[in-house]
Chains A and B, each alone.
Chain A
Amino acid sequence: MDNDQGKYHDDLKSVQATNTALIKELRRFRAAAEQSIEMMVFTDPEGIVFWTNKATERITGFTVEETIGKKAGVLWGKLMPKEWYAKLWHTIKVEKKMFVSEIENHRKSGVRFWSTITIYPLLDDNHEIEFFISTQRDITKERDIDRMKTDFISIASHQMRTPLTAMKWLLEIIANGDLGQLTNKQLEAILDVEKSNNRMIELVNGLLNISRIESGRMIVDPKLVDLNWLIEDVKNDLLGEFEERNHNLTVNINKEIPKIMIDPKLIREVLNNVLTNSNKYTPHGGSVTIDVTQLENDIEFKVSDTGYGIPTNELPKIFERFYRGSNVIKLETNGTGLGLYLSKIIIESSGGKIWIDSIEGKGTQVTFTIPKSGMKAKKGEVSLSQ
């Protein structure tokens, strides 16, 4: 009896100890969640809020009392496109996986804010959803700073254009002999300055395009495009440059290839960049081939050349901005290192992929895909330099 009672007493003690430990731990986590700078919202499987922290009030302006019992979306949401919400619910409710994205919401005052958001379902032993935990970090400031940076690059580059133009034209006048005959040496020097000036103009154009595309404010205006026509057009534009270097330019494209919804200006920019590289980085008298093929879900574009190639160890860096292959920098001073970077952003934001295979001294193959479903239209504010 005594023993039993003693055991009971001990058990009780250990339960109490466990409880105390649990409560302590709960308090700790609760304090952490309460004081977190990220807003945290717990909802039931239907999305009704049953717990929020102080950051939620600070960020949204809605008090804890105002929030509990309501749907978070009703209070501060509904600004994202329908598909976005559909994807969110599908991920957390059907796939029962974590959803990560960026979201625009509005505060109680009506002022909009951007945040990174993660929502994950907490599942019970039967794999049913018990509740959702959503955390959000206000990134409005970061986005503003980013925008300011982009705007600065854009304004600065734009301001550089007028003096660069004045130099370009004056050099042209001087080289032309309009201001008096030049000696051969003088002419040579002037032509060198002209080349440098043109490089600077090219760089400024590249920077402007990069700042526009990085701003996320690029207009995407898809049209039903016949790729035969697009390729032919790009080819005609570049024919002069290819002839100058005596290259053989071949196009293999099936006439039956389906038309796709793409923004021709953006895809033209990619083709232009890739082809200009092939032209520039292939020794005179080489060959460049464009293959366009239809895959199951994508259209694949492949540009192959018999050029200098890219050293294997540099391949991972080739899409970085301003990066130029170490073997070609000496051969071809002209170039900004922005073409492939820009192309990658365009292709990836179009839902496609771009990659490079290359053997130094043998040639390079740039491949990119565009989904047959086409590019999504986007109302933006900026477009590429034409």
Chain B
Amino acid sequence: MKNNTNKIKILIAEDDIFLVDVFKVKFESKNFEVKVALDGEQVIKALKDYEPTVILLDILMPNMDGFETLKALKKNPKWRKIPVIVTTNLSQSSDQEKAMKLGADDYLVKSNTSLETIVKKILFYSKSEEA
């Protein structure tokens, strides 16, 4: 990344404010920088002047859902390389296949995943991003 600090920057796309708060507590304790988007439109808006290391992307969101957001991200050459970890409660294998086809790097079902696992995935994708 071009930025001057090595701080990992997470863009969280999540419409459930309660979950956003929990994410924040955990990620800030890991010294990650956190920015929040409540739907896909806000993700696109945020990316205009924010370069996250990793995007955490929910699927079921108002206005512009995660699938649409993924499409938009992968269409744009500037955003295409940002790793996207889908964190959703859509658990069907068909949803996972759809997201992976659209270019998601990982797919985690929230209720079956610990925060610690999400942190590990973020660290993993931040490293592959640097390399």
Task: Give residues in A with beta carbon < 8 Å to B.
Answer: 158, 161-166, 168-170, 172-173, 176, 178-179, 201, 204-205, 208, 212, 219, 265, 382-386
Contact = CB atoms under 8 A, between A and B. Distances in A.
A212 B93 CA distance: 12
Given A162-B19, A219-B94, A382-B94, A204 B26 contact: no
Q: Is the interface of B mostly helix, strand, loop or mixed?
A: helix
B92 A383 contact: yes
Contacts of B19: 162, 165-166, 169
Nearest to A161: B89
A164 to B, nearest CB: 6
Contact of B22 (A170, A212, A219, A385): A170
B111 A168 contact: yes
A273 to B, nearest CB: 16
A172 B114 contact: yes
B111 A386 contact: no
Nearest to B94: A383
Interface residues of B, number: 21
B110 to A, nearest CB: 4
A148 B105 CA distance: 35
A178 B89 contact: no
Residue among A165, A204, A219 with the highest chain B CB neighbour number at 10 A: A165
Contacts, number: 66
A169 B117 CA distance: 11
Contacts of B95: 383
B93 A172 contact: no
B94 A161 contact: no
B26 A385 contact: no
Contacts of A176: 116
A162 B89 contact: yes
Interface string B21-49: 01001100100000000000000000000
Nearest to A176: B116
B93 A265 contact: yes
6 contacts: A162-B18, A166-B18, A169-B114, A173-B25, A173-B115, A383-B93
